[in-house]
Structure formats: structure tokens, C-alpha cells
């Protein structure tokens, strides 16, 4: 939209200069050329400055990084970000990465950022990893928590997978919990519950409320 406006502005300005030329070049050519020497450099500088600013604006709009050392939440107040990425390390030295389709800060005081289609992963020291995704969520850079909503999925590289409507992820301590119904599948079988708690990046899993566990039949030795 801004690009079209800039082009129309330049065309209109060029037309006015041409009209000015037609009006004065015949009546007073000396006055015209003296004026042109002043107006033309100003026009070129203004046009060049607008083009440079527009290029910078478009580049900044395309991608933002949320790395601690590059961009703090206070610097992105009110901005819509495309493909944001945040990387960090939890209290146990585990690396986690969070990305999203778009992001926008909704609370300048707390630094909470709303995410559309967030995804994330945690890599443990032994090489095991966990992956999560959802339709939307809220992320706190300061408190290092992630609230997920809409078709939440949590799974790891062993084949364990959970599906629920919402989840609260503690990125600092590697914990997760939820109070909506959950279903899970894995090499062991299937499970479901009214809620869940995951501690220490999946080492301890607890189902809340009414729960069921169906184990796969194991072949007899």
C-alpha cells in the first residue's frame, strides 16, 4: 500500500515539474533553469530518502528475532511480527526454541506476546527432544512461560504424543500442565484423562481426574 502511494506521489510531483517547465521555460528560460538547479536536487534527495526508508520498513516488517541479546519485549510494543523466533536455556541447561507464524505484544507492562500457530522444541543433554504446537498462545519473555490453546499437540522422539485443548508450559523448569481433557498414544498403548501434569521434560507424567490407560498386548516369551 505504501509503495503504491509513493509511486503516485512521485508521478504527481513529476507532472507538476513538467507543467512548471512548460509555463516558465518560454516566458523566462533563465529563471526556469536557475529554479530547476535548486528544485531538482531537493526532489532527488527526497525521493531517494523515501525509497530507502520504504525498503528498510519492508525489510523490518518481514522478520523480527526475539533473542535476548537482540530484541527486548519493550522494543516491540505494538508491532506485528512475522516469523518471530526465540531461543533460550532453562534452569537445567536445556536448550529450547520457540517460533510462530505471527506475534504481537498485548501487554507492555508484563511483556506478554500473543502468538499465532506457535511451535517449539526442547533438546535434552542426552539428545532426546520434545516438540509442541498449537493454534494460538501467549508467551511471556520475562517469566518464560507459554500458554497454548486450540489443538495443542505435545510429543517426543520416542513416539509419545498428547492432544488437548490447552496447556501451560513452564519453559524455565521444563514442566507442563493442563485442565482440559487429554488423549495420548505411544508404544505402550493409549491413555486419556481430564487433565495432566508433565514434569522434568517428560520424565514424570500424571493424568488428572477420571483417567483410563489401555496397554498394548505384549507377545508371550
Decide: 181 and 191 in contact? Cβ < 8 Å: no
Q: What's the CA gap between 145 and 120, in Å, rounded?
A: 12
Mean pLDDT lowest among 11-25, 59-73, 124-138, 183-197 = 59-73
Higher pLDDT, 97 or 36: 97
Decide: 91 and 61 in contact? Cβ < 8 Å: no
Mean pLDDT lowest among 15-19, 95-99, 187-191, 216-220 = 15-19
Q: Which pLDDT tens digit goes with each residue over 20-60?
A: 555 544 455 555 556 656 656 666 566 666 666 555 444 44
Q: What's the CA gap between 179 and 171, in Å, rounded?
A: 18
Residues linked to residue 146 through DSSP beta bridges, in sequence order: 139, 169
- Rg (the chain; Cα; Å): 29
Decide: 193 and 177 in contact? Cβ < 8 Å: no
> Quick check: 160 pLDDT over 90?
no
Q: What's the CA gap between 121 and 87, in Å, rounded?
A: 10
Cβ atoms within 10 Å of 167's Cβ, excluding its own:
25
Amino acid at each position: 500500500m505504501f509503495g503504491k502511494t509513493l509511486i503516485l506521489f512521485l508521478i504527481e510531483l513529476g507532472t507538476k515539474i513538467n507543467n512548471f517547465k512548460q509555463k516558465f521555460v518560454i516566458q523566462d528560460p533563465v529563471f526556469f533553469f536557475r529554479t530547476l538547479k535548486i528544485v531538482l536536487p531537493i526532489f532527488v534527495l527526497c525521493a531517494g530518502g523515501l525509497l530507502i526508508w520504504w525498503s528498510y520498513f519492508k525489510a523490518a516488517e518481514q522478520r523480527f528475532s526475539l533473542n535476548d541479546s537482540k530484541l527486548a519485549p519493550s522494543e516491540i510494543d505494538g508491532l506485528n511480527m512475522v516469523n518471530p523466533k526465540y531461543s533460550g536455556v532453562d534452569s537445567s541447561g536445556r536448550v529450547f526454541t520457540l517460533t510462530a507464524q505471527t506475534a504481537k505484544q498485548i501487554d507492555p507492562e508484563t511483556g506478554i506476546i500473543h502468538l499465532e500457530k506457535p511451535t517449539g522444541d526442547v533438546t535434552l543433554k542426552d539428545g532426546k527432544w520434545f516438540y509442541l504446537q498449537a493454534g494460538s498462545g501467549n508467551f511471556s519473555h520475562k517469566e518464560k512461560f507459554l500458554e497454548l490453546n486450540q489443538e495443542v499437540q505435545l510429543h517426543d522422539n520416542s513416539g509419545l504424543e498428547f492432544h488437548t485443548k490447552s496447556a501451560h508450559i513452564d519453559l524455565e523448569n521444563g514442566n507442563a500442565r493442563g485442565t482440559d481433557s487429554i488423549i495420548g498414544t505411544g508404544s505402550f498403548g493409549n491413555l486419556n484423562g481430564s487433565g495432566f501434569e508433565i514434569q522434568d521434560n517428560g520424565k514424570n507424567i500424571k493424568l488428572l481426574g477420571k483417567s483410563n490407560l489401555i496397554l498394548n498386548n505384549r507377545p508371550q516369551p
